[in-house]
Amino acid sequence: MISTLLNYRLYTNNMARTLEQVAGQAQTERAKAYYDSHIGGVATVDEFLADYKLYSYAMKAYGLEDQISSKGLMRKVLQSDLTDSNSFANKLVDKRYQAFAKAFDFSSGTKDPQAQTTAQTALVTEAYTERLSRTGPAAAQAAAGFTAAVAGATSLDGLLSNRANVDFALRAVGIDDPSLFSTDYVRSVLQGSAPNPIPAGLADLKARLADATTPAKKADIVSRLVYDYYNETGNSSTPGAAQANVDYFSQKVTTTQTAASFVADTRLLQTALTAVGFELTGYSADFVLPLLKDVTAIDRLTGVSDTDKARFRTLNGLMGFDASGNPASRAPDAIGTLTGRYLQNYATAQTGKDNLATKVYLTTIKDVGSVSDLTGKAVESLRYAMRAFDIDPATVSLNKLRAVLTSDPSDPKSYVSKLKDERFSKLAAAFNFGTDGKAGPTQGVQTTAQQTQTGTLYAASFGTNVSTSQKALIKSATEDYLTGISKAYSLDSLLADKKTVAYALKAYDVENKSMSTAELRKILTSDLSDPKSYANTQSDKAIVKFAAAFQFEPDGSVREAGQGIQLGAAKLATDNLYLLQSLEEKAGETSEGTRLALYALRTAPTITSAYGILADKALFQVVRTALGLPEGMASADIETQVRVLESKLNVKDFADPKKLDRFIARFAALYDAQNTDASQNPILQLFGASSSAGSGIASLL
């Protein structure tokens, strides 16, 4: 009779070939082919449990054959929220159930379609609030360049020689797309040689420049163009615009200006109202004028809050107009006080406007169910979202917007990706519209469960004795990661965020954390269901877990939500486990010792403590035999058993293939010494009354 050790060596010396032989058996081939071709079409737990071929295949793979009839139990396991430590599967002592639940995702196909998730809405509103910090500096630079160019130009050609000056002037007069007009055409309009009709914006620009007959008028025209540019580009409340308003206010409000001329200048009036604390106001020049000339008129106001009355009194006092509207009692520092307050308050005024716009957006976006809704009844929501991503609504046609919103920004071949404009990619990623224009399921580079798992593993990478400073670092890094991963909408956008990628690499303990972008791309686009794919052939097995933590397809696009309950690495792992279980069953037909040895080879590397050994009866039998421990040890209390095991072995050695192989070889030799008559081997009791393929190792786990 062949010894257990020799039999074990015959199986493991070329494990790949051995598994190929098992996989080539007709029954195994049929079971695997059915599973692989049908598991992708299952969406619910009930569908899964109802298909006996699928269900029994998976149960065997995870060593749960003896529980196939316990569908009520398995339903609870599969419906468990594994991110909750108190969920049903997580609370079970036998961790095979947790592993089984992790192998499937029944949440991806159950969520109702929605145009925008809460997280996507938050990204849009955040981007809208922060937009001025992005666009403001560029607007200020453009304004400064235009002002300097006009001041230094000695001729029209000198000014028009720089296309940036042309674009600035055209945007200032309300032309949203300056590229529609060539420099030569603009020159012909300004010189009066262009044929009629002339576009309204260009006619306006021509009339303004024609009035630049003196240096003072020229300065006024430039100042007005700068003011209009800030307004037309949505940058009216940026620091650059605020300073331009202060300069204008200081220049125009003189000791000879009347109240009537003051309120007639909208720019001056709005600057003054903002300075005294008004945020959102509809007060007209006609309404304000009498309040500036007669302070008692403020007390007679009806329908105006006491706070607003106090603000009008402050404005009245600082401007110092008399009953005739002349600045009779203005303090020397009044203008400086007003402009100083304006610089303090203009940002608050913009915040008020943004808050109102955001409130409207949050209310209307809930009722959007299609692109038609967004471009129709909720068009203001669309404009809000466009501004959030620095897109001027007036510059984009509805046809282009529809094409963008029904594109997949993660697909390199999609319409929006081919635009090569990150603004439009972000806009498309902010909504969940399908190619039919209807709201669909959410998709992202990581599911919520994957984000939770990544965060948990990152925290665990710091060990058990974590200092207060390390806890703070983990919290901060995790918050940054969740923000970064929520903004990633494609493979390129993820790889561009080095900080987010580094966090994930550390979480999954990838050895080489300084991989190139090209190598990371090959990993993340690997077909994890193919054993020969790039990720699966790497020596560092953590790479597969890292790749499986994201939702990328081999073409680089993000996997569509609801595609199946098991994909990629999880399906490959199930197939591999099924083969290993089949191999162990085959070995058990002639040698239960070999079956135990192969079982230990598969399961021991997953054990992290002595408690894990004790929780697995079959593995404990292997360990007890290899260490020469008495059978009666199993009757001792748990803590005593743990102390004995910890004194005899280092569980971490099981992760080393060579050390594990030596340990199993020792078991095989001692097993044969203790069981000379294999046909009457008492270890059969561990597996049940029979050693047939149907009894399985599952009965002792």
Contact in structure between 536 and 544 (CB atoms under 8 Å): yes
* The predicted structure's pLDDT at residue 676: 62
* The predicted structure's pLDDT at residue 589: 84
H/E element holding 57?
A: helix 52-61
Nearest Cα to 557, choosing from 435, 432, 409? 409
CA quadruple 168, 170, 171, 173: dihedral sign? positive
HSE-CB of 675 using CA atoms within 13 angstroms: 22
* The predicted structure's pLDDT at residue 449: 74
Q: Which two tokens stand for residue 570?
A: 């999880």
For the stretch 11-27, pLDDT in tens is: 888 777 888 888 888 88
Rounded to the nearest 5 percent, the helix, strand and coil shares of the chain are: 65, 0, 35
Q: Which band of pLDDT confidence, cut at 50, 70 and 90, is reported for residue 689? A: very low
For the stretch 173-220, pLDDT in tens is: 999 889 999 999 999 999 999 999 999 999 999 999 888 888 889 999
| Orientation of helix 398-405 relative to helix 422-429, angle to 10° | 60
* The predicted structure's pLDDT at residue 690: 36
CA 655 to chain centre: 34
* The predicted structure's pLDDT at residue 568: 67
Amino acid type, 62: Y
| Whether pLDDT at 96 is above 60 | yes
In degrees rounded to 5, what are phi and psi of residue 438? Answer: -95, 155
CA distance 62 to 64: 6
* The predicted structure's pLDDT at residue 34: 93
| Whether pLDDT at 172 is above 60 | yes
CA distance 487 to 430: 9
First to last CA, the chain: 28
Using the structure block, give the residue that is written with the tokens 């005593």: 640
The set of residues, in sequence order, having a beta carbon less than 8 Å from that of 540 and lying 6+ positions away, is 510, 511, 512
**Lowest-confidence segment of 342-346, 390-394, 533-537, 691-695 by average pLDDT:** 691-695
Domain ranges of the chain: 4-109+570-700, 136-252, 368-429, 448-549
HSE-CB of 68 using CA atoms within 13 angstroms: 20
Contact in structure between 350 and 132 (CB atoms under 8 Å): yes
Contact in structure between 321 and 292 (CB atoms under 8 Å): yes
DSSP three-state, residue 433: strand
Tell me how far CA of residue 416 lies from CA of 406, 407, 411, 413, 625, in angstroms: 9, 6, 9, 8, 64
In degrees rounded to 5, what are phi and psi of residue 287? Answer: -75, -40
Nearest Cα to 457, choosing from 509, 421, 417, 499? 509
**Neighbour-count burial of 180, counting CB atoms closer than 10 A to its CB (0-12 exposed, 13-18 middle, 19+ buried):** exposed
* The predicted structure's pLDDT at residue 107: 61
Rounding to the nearest 10 degrees, give the CA dihedral for residues 93, 98, 99, 100: 120
CB atoms within 10 A of CB 502: 14
Contact in structure between 390 and 127 (CB atoms under 8 Å): no
| Whether pLDDT at 445 is above 70 | yes
Per the prediction, the chain carries an average pLDDT of: 88
* The predicted structure's pLDDT at residue 575: 85
* The predicted structure's pLDDT at residue 700: 34
For the stretch 632-683, pLDDT in tens is: 888 888 899 999 999 999 988 998 889 999 999 999 989 888 876 544 444 4
Burial 377-399 (b: 16+ CB within 10 A, else e): ebeebbbbbbbbbbbebeebeee
Q: Is the peptide bond before 197 cis (omega within 30 degrees of 0)?
A: yes
DSSP state of 327: B
DSSP per position, 573-602? HHHHHHHHHHHHHHHHTT-HHHHHHHHHHH
What fold does the segment set 4-109+570-700 form as a domain?
AGR_C_984p-like (1.10.3700)
Amino acid type, 456: T
Strand ranges inside 146-211, DSSP E? none
For the stretch 386-422, pLDDT in tens is: 999 999 888 889 999 999 999 999 999 999 999 999 9
DSSP state of 323: T
The rounded percent of the chain whose pLDDT value lies above 70 is 94
Contact in structure between 545 and 505 (CB atoms under 8 Å): no
Q: Which two tokens stand for residue 457?
A: 């593993």
* The predicted structure's pLDDT at residue 696: 34
| Whether pLDDT at 288 is above 90 | yes
**Lowest-confidence segment of 36-40, 227-231, 372-376, 618-622 by average pLDDT:** 36-40
CA distance 330 to 334: 7
| Whether pLDDT at 360 is above 50 | yes
* The predicted structure's pLDDT at residue 424: 96
**Residue range 305-331: average pLDDT?**
94
Q: Which two tokens stand for residue 514?
A: 């300084």
CA distance 201 to 38: 63
* The predicted structure's pLDDT at residue 207: 93
pTM for this predicted structure: 0.64
**Residue range 264-291: average pLDDT?**
90
